[in-house]
Amino acid sequence: MSLVSSTIQTIPVLNKLYPSSRNEIQRYSTVRGLESVEALVRTVPETPEPIETRVCGQIPAWVNGSFLRNGPGKFEFGNDKYNHWFDGMALLHQFKIEAGVVSYRSRFLRSDSYNTNCEHNRIMVSEFGTLAMPDPCKNVFQRFLSRFEMPKATDNASVSFVKYKGDYYVSTETNFMRRVDPESLDTMDKVDWSKFIAVNGATAHPHYDPDGTTYNMGNSYGKQGSLYNIIRVPSEKGAAGETLEGAQVVCSIPAVDKMKPSYYHSFAMSENYVIFIEQPIKLDLLKILTAKVRGKGLSEGICWEPKQDTVFHVCNKHTGQLSSVKYHAKPLSTFHQINAFEQDGFLVMDLCCSDDGGHLGNFLIQNLRKSGEALDEMYNSLCRAFPRRFVLPLSVGPDTPTALNLNTLPDSSATAVKTGEGKVFCTHEDLHNSDLVDYGGLEFPQINYAHYNARKYRYFYGCGFRHLLGDSLLKVDIETKQLKVWKQPGLFPSEPVFVPAPGASEEDDGVILSVVLTPRQDKSTFLLVLDAVSFEELGRAEVPVNMPYGFHGYFHPSANTPTDLS
């Protein structure tokens, strides 16, 4: 008997109280007449020298620094075109804000992948969803043999900006990062994780302790099978001055299926624990290793296996001790965690998740460029992400009773039930009311990271997705589950980034920064600044160039601004 079925039989009320979001999706009204966003996923030229913007309204004088953005910006070389949105070459953006004045510049990351592709005017390096075809200048025998070469990992770091030991890097999910100058956006040295520590890549979403110590996760493959490794990078540079010098594996977690480890984009961290979410989105290693032989992209090796539970693994980040208790939940998929904190013997974890993990293929460029009925049909077929809370009891032992809800937190309806030795089955609490359904769920979550990461908090921010791309900005009050919304027809805002006001005493005292695009008018991008308390617009800086829709951003404060990790 499976864990899920035994839990439902023991406590049948759980299934009635906590229906899956798949049932929520069935209640959606069908969306018609979606606007084409093709103009937001096309190649644009870089703007390497700063240009002035036109500021409307007023940007608070205390907001001084550079708002950095990362995402794909070039989708073809010569006659070769990328298949997947994630494959486009990284274009880095900078909005420099000083005393209410804003300038803009952008530069393509001069990665080895970008430079090689430019030199040959064709796609030479395989990306997530695009296989680099053999060089046509080679003879037939050479092209045949090239099929059996292992594809080289790309250094096209198009996902996010991250910090290690005070330096800025752009990152993706391979073993390569590129250091960049946040002032000029110049591409600097390439850093290879595998030269410092035995991992094959790391996530583009590390977590930071207040002292600058950085935690991340990366896989390794060997005789022991597939391992998920929790990594710690110290805050100070060593004698050699290397970025990842001193990095160490804190804990290794064996994959349930050695040949099909879980795919993950991020992880959760509280004050004392790292929580790894082993979800049933699987990397089929055999398919990935043979992708080039079969003429397929690496994305063809990712599969959704909804018959498997999701498992939360909890590790003490100070000692490296992995909890013997495995916390199970129904199958879910998650890209981004919101926050995690400890309270009264419980580990509270908030994340954006959906009940279908087969959606990576939905972001083929051809899908994002659809229009009319084809676009409507595409969107209406999607499973959407919603914010959920799980509560994990930290003290579970042989004497812990079964068939009882162990969650005693008075302000949470999530459940945790011991179903066997070392096994706890968890159901979530929704962190939203039904009105969030009208905005298409929520993704790209952000918090006041500098002051509330790994602490009990009240607010988070994100994009609503009543489209394939974000088309609203949302503020969620966890205590009341009420929404505040910024939305205007035809505008598509990017991930909101919270910047705290100097000396703020309230959690939401600050501003929200988001880059807003529209496919309706050429050269109509603007940087939006919202009051984070009221969620009302304070000002915008209009940029006379086009930008593509990107992924993640980071606020780099000026030298004379108090330095908080954000």
Concatenated DSSP letters for 291-360? HHHHT--GGGGEEE-TTSPEEEEEEETTT-PBPS-EEEESS-EEEEEEEEEEETTEEEEEEEEES----G
- Answer whether residue 16 shows pLDDT above 50: no
Confidence of residue 287 (pLDDT cuts 50, 70, 90): confident
Contact 438, 424 (CB under 8 A): no
Q: For the chain, what is the radius of gyration of the CA atoms?
A: 23
In sequence order, the 6+-apart residues with CB closer than 8 A to the CB of 48 are: 105, 106, 107, 185
If one counts every other C-beta atom within 10 angstroms of the C-beta of residue 299, the result is: 21
pLDDT of 296 reads 79
Mean pLDDT of 522-536: 97
* Token digits of residue 291: 């992708």
Q: What are the pLDDT digits (tens) for 306-352?
A: 999 999 999 999 999 999 999 999 999 999 999 999 999 999 999 99
d(CA 40, CA 549): 5
Confidence of residue 105 (pLDDT cuts 50, 70, 90): very high
Query: Averaging pLDDT over each range in 231-240, 269-278, 353-362, which range is the top one?
Result: 269-278
Mean pLDDT of 97-112: 97
Confidence of residue 533 (pLDDT cuts 50, 70, 90): very high
- Answer whether residue 224 shows pLDDT above 90: no
**For residues 467 and 357, which has the higher predicted lDDT (pLDDT)?**
467
Question: What rounded mean pLDDT belongs to the chain?
Answer: 90
Contact 327, 275 (CB under 8 A): no
d(CA 55, CA 527): 9
pLDDT of 29 reads 67
pTM value? 0.91
Q: What are the pLDDT digits (tens) for 454-463?
A: 999 999 999 9
Q: What are the pLDDT digits (tens) for 159-170?
A: 999 999 999 999
pLDDT of 298 reads 78
pLDDT of 21 reads 38
pLDDT of 54 reads 97
pLDDT of 26 reads 40
Q: What are the pLDDT digits (tens) for 242-260?
A: 889 999 999 999 998 888 9
Contact 509, 532 (CB under 8 A): yes
pLDDT of 243 reads 86
pLDDT of 487 reads 98
Mean pLDDT of 48-68: 97
Confidence of residue 374 (pLDDT cuts 50, 70, 90): very high
Give percent of the chain above pLDDT 90. 79
pLDDT of 24 reads 41
Three-state secondary-structure class, residue 120:
helix
Mean pLDDT of 57-83: 97
pLDDT of 5 reads 29
- Answer whether residue 143 shows pLDDT above 50: no
